[in-house]
């Protein structure tokens, strides 16, 4: 329940603190006094869009704070706990606006995005504006209202999920099928290319290995001569090989190290060189033993390299990229060549999803049909009470064409009405006048409000175009709602205001410098004055007062 509203520097409100009570509360005032400002401010606090133009003239910022008692609002309490925003059984929402265009929202003292204000607001307050009935002619709105009445939220969520899965698989199937139909020539080309690359069988890093081996074989004669000469110089020359010369140096330096320690390092290096020269000669002999001078092998490698380079030029890639090209073309070929299997798999999956979706959609239709039947009777009854005794309201469910599926079911929903005897039912938008549409909208709102889980209902001049005995019925309906819900009703009708449990009066005061609006709660005496004003205009007479007293006494 909405328990308190604080407004500062919003439009023509300088400062306002208002305590609200349970039951039906009427808000009245002279034309132009700003009766709807409170409703607009409430919507702003709950995430509606706004700009700096709503800030009171002369002020730098505006602030709206609203407080709710959550003792009977379980959904909002759960949501706040999930968002880690809970604060016992009270919820305080704050919205600020600055001249610079900055807008900030807070829930229980913590900053939140506007989306959070909207999500929470939809659980706390249902605001029906004076032009709400205009949206009633839209088919989407009509479907949503029926589903709200039938409480189809869980079923609709499941259907939307299945629809998205079905649509995704169907799109994939259609894309693959179109690709398969257009890719016969591509498959044959890929088949040839893959086979050709498979036969060539280029291995990873093979081209580098072939280059190295080719260079070695092509220069085998030079390598052989150089290695043999090096072995001769190192170890095999009879009088002057390096190994012998180093031994002589070592023989000469050995005794001298005993005389001078500083020669020991040079002596050690010479000995190391003796060992290294011998090992180098051994390594060269081993290499020559392994050296294979095979002209046929050289020719094979040359031919192999030519084939690889030719294949690389054909595919316009580098020779070392051929293994990756083979994998890529093989993968593409497998996908296209096995597209029939994939299509069959997708088809089976789609059939399963369609069956699941259709089962849920048929269940949804059944629930909608039952709800529509109940809603037809209740709305028609209320329309009769609202001064249209011959009207008939009916919701029609028309199945879509075969195999058409949507995220909201398999039938269209349309509200139809007959306002005069002997006429056929016709779409609401074609037969209802503005006044008739307003009454039908109000009847639907009253019926839906009886089943909604939202505890605070706000009606902003929804009784526009209604008068006389019908206005009294409207007041009675809203008062009945006020027994189980908090109802805040902005009205210009005394018949409606007289039915309220509580009465707020909006007054505008102006001087040469500024205009401000204030709201006060009326006692019984003040209510008589206000109802009398609404009945008789500016001049309040004893007769209008007497009429007001009579109206205020006619309540259960």
**How far apart are the C-alpha atoms of 534 and 29, rounded to whole Å?**
8
pLDDT for residue 116? 92
The string of pLDDT tens digits covering residues 29-55 is 887 667 778 888 998 999 888 888 889
Choose the weakest-confidence range: 152-156, 351-355, 363-367, 449-453: 449-453
pLDDT averaged over every residue in the chain: 85
Residue 294's pLDDT band, with cuts at 50, 70 and 90, is: low
pLDDT of 181 higher than 70: no
- Dig out the tokens for 415 from the structure: 């509200």
The answer to whether 213 and 204 are in contact (CB under 8 A) is: no
The answer to whether 311 and 200 are in contact (CB under 8 A) is: yes
Number of structural domains the chain divides into: 2
pLDDT for residue 158? 93
Choose the weakest-confidence range: 141-155, 179-193, 259-273, 417-431: 179-193
Q: Do residues 326 and 191 share a domain?
A: yes
In a domain, 140, yes or no: no
Residue 398's pLDDT band, with cuts at 50, 70 and 90, is: very high
In a domain, 170, yes or no: no
Burial class (CB in 10 A: 0-12, 13-18, 19+), 355: exposed
The string of pLDDT tens digits covering residues 62-90 is 999 999 998 888 888 888 888 888 767 88
The string of pLDDT tens digits covering residues 191-238 is 888 888 888 888 888 888 888 877 777 666 677 778 778 887 887 777
In the chain, what is the greatest distance between 2 CA atoms, to the nearest angstrom?
A: 150
In a domain, 424, yes or no: no
Task: Give the β-pairing of 24-29 and 502-510.
Answer: parallel
- The position carrying tokens 């043999």 is 228
Mean pLDDT of 443-457: 80
Mean pLDDT of 398-402: 89
Asked which of 304, 337, 370 is the last residue of a domain, the reply is 337
Mean pLDDT of 248-260: 85
The string of pLDDT tens digits covering residues 161-179 is 999 999 999 998 888 777 7
Among residues 411, 415, 489, 412, which one has the least CA distance to residue 449? 489
Q: Do residues 279 and 195 share a domain?
A: yes
**How far apart are the C-alpha atoms of 464 and 476, rounded to whole Å?**
16
Q: How many CB atoms lie within 10 A of CB 302?
A: 14
Q: Do residues 213 and 101 share a domain?
A: no
Higher pLDDT, 332 or 510: 332
First to last CA, the chain: 23
In a domain, 239, yes or no: yes
pLDDT of 449 higher than 90: no
In a domain, 353, yes or no: no
Q: Do residues 1 and 126 share a domain?
A: yes
pLDDT for residue 5? 94
- Dig out the tokens for 449 from the structure: 């409000």
Asked which of 319, 337, 355 is the last residue of a domain, the reply is 337
Q: Do residues 330 and 231 share a domain?
A: yes
Q: Do residues 554 and 474 share a domain?
A: yes
What is the per-residue DSSP string for 185-250?
HHHHHHHHHHHHHHHHTPPTTHHHHHHHHHHHHHTHHHHHHHHHHHHIIIII-TTT-HHHHHHHHH
Q: Do residues 192 and 332 share a domain?
A: yes
Asked which of 303, 337, 371 is the last residue of a domain, the reply is 337
pLDDT for residue 12? 83
pLDDT for residue 433? 67
Q: Do residues 248 and 313 share a domain?
A: yes
pLDDT of 450 higher than 90: no
* φ, ψ of residue 183 in degrees (nearest 5): -115, 20
Q: Do residues 191 and 109 share a domain?
A: no
Residue 295's pLDDT band, with cuts at 50, 70 and 90, is: low
- The position carrying tokens 């059944």 is 366
In a domain, 377, yes or no: no
Residue 512's pLDDT band, with cuts at 50, 70 and 90, is: low
CATH number at residue 520: 3.40.50.300
Task: Give the β-pairing of 103-107 and 392-399.
Answer: unpaired
pLDDT for residue 385? 87
In a domain, 392, yes or no: no
Residue 338's pLDDT band, with cuts at 50, 70 and 90, is: low
In a domain, 520, yes or no: yes
Q: Do residues 24 and 117 share a domain?
A: yes
The string of pLDDT tens digits covering residues 513-549 is 667 778 889 999 999 999 998 887 667 888 888 889 8
**How far apart are the C-alpha atoms of 500 and 522, rounded to whole Å?**
11
Q: Do residues 194 and 68 share a domain?
A: no
The string of pLDDT tens digits covering residues 360-374 is 999 999 999 999 999
Mean pLDDT of 94-98: 93
pLDDT for residue 133? 54
The answer to whether 78 and 460 are in contact (CB under 8 A) is: no
pLDDT of 136 higher than 90: no
Question: Domain containing 28: what range?
Answer: 1-130+461-556
User: Does residue 520 come out as left (phi exceeding 0), alpha (psi in the -120 to 50 range) or beta?
Assistant: beta
pLDDT of 556 higher than 70: no
**How far apart are the C-alpha atoms of 480 and 464, rounded to whole Å?**
20
Q: Do residues 215 and 328 share a domain?
A: yes
pLDDT for residue 249? 84
């Amino acid at each position: 329940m909405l328990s308190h509203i604080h407004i500062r520097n919003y439009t023509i409100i300088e400062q306002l603190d208002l305590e609200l009570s349970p039951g039906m509360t009427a808000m009245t005032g002279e034309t132009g006094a700003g009766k709807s400002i409170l409703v607009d401010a409430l919507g702003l606090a709950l995430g509606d869009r706004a700009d700096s133009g709503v800030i009171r003239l002369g002020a730098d910022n505006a602030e709206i704070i609203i407080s709710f008692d959550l003792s009977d609002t379980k959904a909002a309490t759960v949501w706040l706990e999930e968002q880690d925003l809970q604060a016992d059984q009270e919820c305080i929402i704050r919205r600020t606006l600055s001249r610079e265009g900055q807008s900030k929202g807070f829930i229980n003292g913590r900053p939140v995005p506007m989306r959070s204000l909207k999500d929470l607001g939809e659980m706390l307050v249902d605001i029906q504006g004076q032009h709400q009935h205009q949206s009633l002619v839209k088919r989407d709105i009509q479907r949503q209202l029926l589903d709200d009445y039938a409480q189809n939220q869980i079923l609709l969520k499941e259907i939307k999920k299945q629809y998205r899965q079905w649509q995704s698989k169907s799109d994939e199937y259609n894309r693959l099928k179109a690709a398969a139909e257009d890719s016969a020539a591509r498959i044959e080309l890929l088949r040839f290319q893959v086979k050709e690359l498979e036969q060539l069988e280029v291995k990873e890093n093979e081209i580098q290995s072939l280059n190295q081996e080719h260079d070695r074989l092509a220069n085998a004669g030079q390598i052989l001569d150089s290695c043999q000469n090096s072995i001769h110089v190192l170890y095999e020359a009879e009088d002057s090989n390096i190994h012998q010369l180093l031994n002589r140096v070592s023989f000469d330096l050995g005794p001298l190290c005993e005389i001078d320690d500083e020669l020991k390092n040079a002596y050690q290096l010479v000995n190391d060189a003796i060992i290294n020269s011998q090992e180098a000669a051994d390594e060269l002999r081993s290499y020559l033993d392994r050296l294979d001078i095979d002209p046929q092998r050289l020719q094979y490698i040359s031919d192999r390299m030519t084939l690889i380079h030719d294949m690389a030029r054909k595919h316009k890639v580098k020779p070392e990229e051929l293994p990756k090209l083979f994998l890529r073309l093989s993968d593409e070929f497998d996908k296209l060549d096995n597209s029939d299997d994939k299509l069959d798999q997708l088809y089976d999956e789609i059939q399963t999803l369609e069956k699941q979706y259709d089962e849920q959609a048929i269940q949804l239709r059944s629930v909608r049909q039952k709800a529509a039947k109940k809603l037809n009777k209740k709305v028609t009854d209320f329309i009769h009470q609202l001064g249209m005794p011959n009207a008939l309201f009916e919701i029609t469910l028309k199945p879509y064409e075969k195999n058409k599926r949507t995220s909201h079911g398999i039938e269209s929903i349309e509200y139809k009405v007959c306002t005069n005897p002997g006429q056929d039912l016709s779409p609401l938008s074609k037969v209802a006048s503005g006044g008739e549409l307003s009454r039908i909208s109000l009847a639907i709102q009253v019926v839906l409000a009886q089943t909604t889980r939202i505890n605070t209902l706000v009606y902003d001049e929804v009784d526009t175009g209604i008068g006389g005995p019908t206005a009294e019925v409207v007041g009675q309906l809203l008062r009945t709602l006020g027994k189980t819900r908090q109802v805040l009703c902005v009205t210009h009708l005394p018949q409606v205001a007289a039915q309220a449990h509580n009465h707020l009066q909006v007054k505008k005061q102006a001087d040469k410098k500024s205009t401000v609006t204030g709201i006060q709660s009326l006692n019984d005496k003040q209510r008589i004055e206000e109802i009398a004003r609404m009945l008789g205009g500016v001049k309040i007479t004893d007769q209008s007062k007497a009429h007001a007293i009579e109206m205020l006494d006619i309540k259960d």
